[in-house]
Structure 1
Amino acid sequence: MLSTKLPSIEEYLGSNVHLLPQTDYLRSLHTVIRDRNARRDDFVLTSESIIRMLIEAGLNLLPLEKCEVTTPVGATYEGLRLPSRICGVSVVRAGESMEGPLRAVCPSIRIGKILMQRDKKTKLPHLYYTSLPSDIAESQVLLLEPMLATGGTALATIQLLLDKGVAEENIVFVNLITVPEGISAVCRRYPKVRIVTSSIEERLNENAYMVPGIGDFGDRFFGTDI
């Protein structure tokens, strides 16, 4: 049974955890995806709008490089550009929903995949499949997973990236919604990983579903909830 005492996450907010500005517009988008009666096309379109906002916030956390360009009037503009090596890594299957918005922002980005699922008997995460760029150890990584609940799968996935040589501080974990339990689990184990999310839910219920939550994101996004 899940503990009724929620972990404190105040120390992580603004440092480890980057929450999108809680604007009225964002709340209107969440109203759509949280509606149990929402049509799937509305759910998909609205989810992708939020995910794109999250991707852009995640990119803003990367170490951008100085870059001078000449404007059409011949002036010099001292600008910035994204690092040359960025890799997206989606956690199959729900994380694949975030690949489209990522490609919309970074069309040429390489995307790796990890299939990590909890074993029904042991309740522990089990790695079934992985396909990652050969030079991922030198890359800035955007880890894509819409839901961060208990944190078990997230911890195993992050450890896999570390085992592949990725620096902990080079991982930005992009997720749609999370809860204090998941935030605490990830930030305590991996304090250099940054989390970008659009909502911190109240808690997990007795079935490990987020409250108020959005249900099973993968089923709703891919239409397998019927």
Structure 2
Amino acid sequence: MASNSQPPSQTVGPEYRPAGLKPIATVSTPLSQKNVHILPQTPQLIALLTMIRDRNTGRADFIFYSNRIIRLLVEEGLNHLPVVGQEVSTPVGRSYAGVKFEGKICGVSIMRAGESMEQGLRDCCRSVRIGKILIQRDEETSKPKLYYDKLPEDIADRWVLLLDPMLATGGSALMAIEVLRSRGVPEDRILFLNLIASPEGAKNFADRFPKVRVVTAFVDAGLDEKNWIVPGLGDFGDRFYTM
């Protein structure tokens, strides 16, 4: 059923400017689920999202600005990984009490749109291993069906960053979590990185797997009668790879 909810709006701009000099922009719909983290609705993020939502944005610009958002998502996702203390010596002979990540990580992309997020992960994590899962909707049952998966052999011992830019109904993402669980990955060691989600899909996903953390850039107004995210940005995979 199509959603008729209206997305929230607020003034957007630097804090030093008075409200009357800042534009009103649509911002993310808040969610009550504690395991869903929405990126701060900063002027930079809203400007980047505006560019990729615009139907007149060409493929080259769509890729460039999408990659900017993906980088923000990966950086924030890494903030949710546990760390342990590590003390190092600096070149001037002093000690510094710092931290390092606890355990190994890997990325898993839900093909094909999720593959667009792999480079952003590689840019932040050198030599990171990346697995792939292909899930498509069965034309007869209209339900997601697993067609292919290739994952690191030791994935059960890693923290997994699951990659998919769009979360509509959540069917593919839910099945991807089941695949990871079947390979021995605990739910609390999975982070799902996502650009734009519907409130229906995000709530369903978060309620189904409360130990999986979701990091998303934006929760949109809802789904239309075709289960497209609205206002959305169209088919992410098509705009990134072919249009």
Structure 2-normalised TM-score? 0.87
Q: Answer yes or no: is the 8 Å Cα contact 1:44–1:221 preserved in 2.
A: yes
- Say yes or no: does 1:29 pair with 2:42: no
| 1:121 aligned residue | 140
Residue among 184, 190, 197 paired with 1:171: 190
Work out the percentage of aligned pairs sharing the same amino acid. 53
| 1:219 aligned residue | 238
CA root-mean-square deviation: 1.4
| 1:188 aligned residue | 207
Residue among 123, 126, 129 paired with 1:110: 129
5+ residue gaps, structure 1: none
Structure 1-normalised TM-score? 0.94
The correspondence of residues 1-226 of structure 1 with structure 2, limited to 5 A, is: 2=1, 4=3, 10-12=31-33, 15-223=34-242, 225=243
For residues 69-123 of structure 1, give each alpha carbon's deviation from its aligned partner in whole angstroms, at most 9, with x where no partner exists.
Answer: 1111111111111234101000110000000110000021100000011111111
Displacement of 1:11: 2.4
Letter in 1 for 2:98: G
Change (3 A) 1:211 1:3: closer
Q: Number of aligned residue pairs: give it.
A: 220
Displacement of 1:212: 0.7
Provide the C-alpha distance between the structure 1 equivalents of 2:119 and 2:217, rounded to a whole number of angstroms: 18
For residues 114-161 of structure 1, give each alpha carbon's deviation from its aligned partner in whole angstroms, at most 9, with x where no partner exists.
Answer: 001111111111111110011101110000000011011111110110
Q: Which runs of 4+ in 1 moved over 6 A?
A: none
Provide the C-alpha distance between the structure 2 equivalents of 1:3 and 1:25, rounded to a whole number of angstroms: 30
Change (3 A) 1:45 1:4: closer
